[in-house]
Amino acid sequence: MTPFNKTALLAATTALLATQSLASARAQEGEFRECLQAIKAEAGRQGVSGAVADRAFQNLTPDQKVIDLDSRQPEFTLTYGKYVGNAVTLERIAKGQQKLTQYRSLLDSLTREYGVAPQYLVAFWGMETNYGAYLGDFQVVRSVATLACMTKRLAFFSNETVQALKILSTNGMTSQQMRGSWAGAMGNMQFMPSTFVKYGVDRDGNGRIDIWNSMPDAFASAANFLRGIGFRPGLPSSDEVFLPQGFPLEEADTTVEKPVRAWASMGVKRANGQPLPSSDELSSIVLPAGWRGPAFILYPNFKAVMNWNRSTLYALAVGILAQQIAGGPAVKQPPPDDDQPLSHDTVVDMQMRLARLGLYSDETDGLLGPKTRSAVRMFQKRVGLPADGHPTPEVVQRLVQAVR
């Protein structure tokens, strides 16, 4: 028998592993090339020449950094206090006021044309890139192609890749110049390629849409986009309100819509002491930090802001920032200081306990969405707590006691 030769065995194993990982890298590369070919074919059907696609895809490799960033799961659910505190700082308000003055005449003419108030255009700019401070330095074609071919969102991101190729072919740019966030959002307003293609505007008239370096182009594109997703002149997106004693907390929910006038007749007032606008527009009341925190009325433009970014906290922050950039008051009611961010695991645990009580039947996904909040509300009612749907540490504790 051959004596056991540890060194030879190790060398053989290492060689085998190297061959395997090389083979799997080659298979992966082959799949990536195939995926790019399919995208090129689709771009061709939409009028992009093969030469443009070939140039953009030449030597293109998946970006591992993008894959890693995409697989990150947020560990905690942000609270209203933390989110808005980070987004609407005194510095960001002051800088927004300065930008409002600096770009006043451009913004006013865009307001006349598109119906979007200047402070909103500035507020989105502040929220998206801190007024152009962080535009992102990823190559957008590489990012969206990686997300299309290497993650589970093929349909969404292969369309974004096709749109990115369209921009290269019509807008006189190289893919080196087309920079953005790891997820493909570009320029001062962080437009996805599809948004750029659909809503981009060459406002300064130099023949190219440049949302990276031209503020007329960036602002006009944002105004055009906002109008396209439903922003209308008139009421703002939201206002802070004071609720009267005995206000039915279960009506503070985005699913409950009433004419502004109906809330006014229930005794709801604006937090600055003024009455609500006399309007028949449909609106909702929300309590983003629970009944002890501030209350907001959401007007129809709130939905337009949500069409820009599907996050209630983002949309509230845009409204709060816009109002203060325009010289309006700060939010009066502070959030309760014991409001805690809930971990993903805590929310999963809550959802399982709520399901055991027969109050929740959706996925246990660890996300604090409307269905989970509504289940929390039913639980609060059952145990005699204020039914605001907001899971405070006390609510979580009561739930643990109720379901052992």
**Residues engaged in binding Ca ion (CB under 5 A):** 202, 204, 206, 208, 210, 214, 217
Based on CB atoms, which residue is closest to Ca ion, 189 or 331?
189
Minimum CB separation of residue 218 from Ca ion in Å reads: 10
> Please, what is the minimum distance in Å from the beta carbon of residue 214 to Ca ion?
5
Closest distance between Ca ion and the C-beta of residue 316, in Å?
33
Measured CA to CA, the distance from residue 120 to residue 103 in angstroms comes to 13
> Smallest distance from the beta carbon of 208 to Ca ion, in angstroms?
5
Q: Which lies closer to Ca ion via its Cβ, residue 214 or residue 237?
A: 214
Question: Which of 48, 112, 78, 375 shows the shortest CA–CA distance to 396?
Answer: 375
Nearer residue to Ca ion within complex by CB, 214 or 372: 214
**Residue of 63, 37, 67, 39 lying closest to 155 (CA atoms):** 39
Return the number of the residue (202 or 251) whose C-beta is nearest Ca ion.
Answer: 202
Give SS3 for 334.
coil
Q: Which is nearer to Ca ion, 150 or 215 (CB)?
A: 215
Minimum distance from residue 266 beta carbon to Ca ion (Å): 49
Closer CB to Ca ion, 66 or 211, in the complex: 211
For Ca ion, the closer CB: 212 or 302: 212
Closer of 113 and 257 to Ca ion (Cβ): 113
Distance of alpha carbon 87 from alpha carbon 67, whole angstroms: 27
Residue 126's closest CA among 394, 318, 348? Answer: 318
CB of 211 to Ca ion, least distance (A): 9
Nearer of residues 208 and 303 to Ca ion, judged by Cβ: 208
CA–CA dist 359, 271 (Å, integer): 34
Nearest distance from C-beta of residue 128 to Ca ion, angstroms: 19
Name the amino acid, one letter, at 306: M
Task: Identify the three-state secondary structure at position 11.
Answer: helix
Q: Estimate to the nearest angstrom the gap between the alpha carbon of 11 and the chain centroid.
A: 50
Instruction: Write down the least CB distance from residue 217 to Ca ion, Å.
Output: 4
Which among 300, 395, 386, 295 has a CA at the least distance from the CA of 339?
Answer: 395
Tokens of 319: 């409204």
- Give the tokens for residue 250: 């279960």
d(C-alpha 371, C-alpha 155), whole Å? 27
Distance CA 261, CA 217 (A): 39
Quote the tokens at residue 404: 């052992």
Residue 22: partners with Cβ closer than 8 Å, 6 or more residues away: none
CB of 48 to Ca ion, least distance (A): 21
Closer of 179 and 208 to Ca ion (Cβ)? 208
Of residues 30 and 172, the one with the C-beta less far from Ca ion: 172
The least CB distance from residue 213 to Ca ion, in Å, is 9
Write the secondary structure of 180-200 as one string of H (helix), E (strand) and C (coil). Answer: ECCCCCECCCCECHHHHHHHC
Residue 282 belongs to what H/E stretch? strand 282-286
Question: In Å, what is the CA distance from 288 to each residue of 298, 336, 356?
Answer: 12, 11, 26
DSSP letter assigned to residue 240: E
Here the tokens at position 146 are 């990686």
In the complex, minimum distance from the CB of residue 200 to Ca ion, in angstroms, rounded to a whole number: 9
Residue nearest to Ca ion (CB): 202
**Tokens 């030449």 sit on residue:** 58
- C-beta of residue 175 within 8 angstroms of C-beta of residue 141: yes
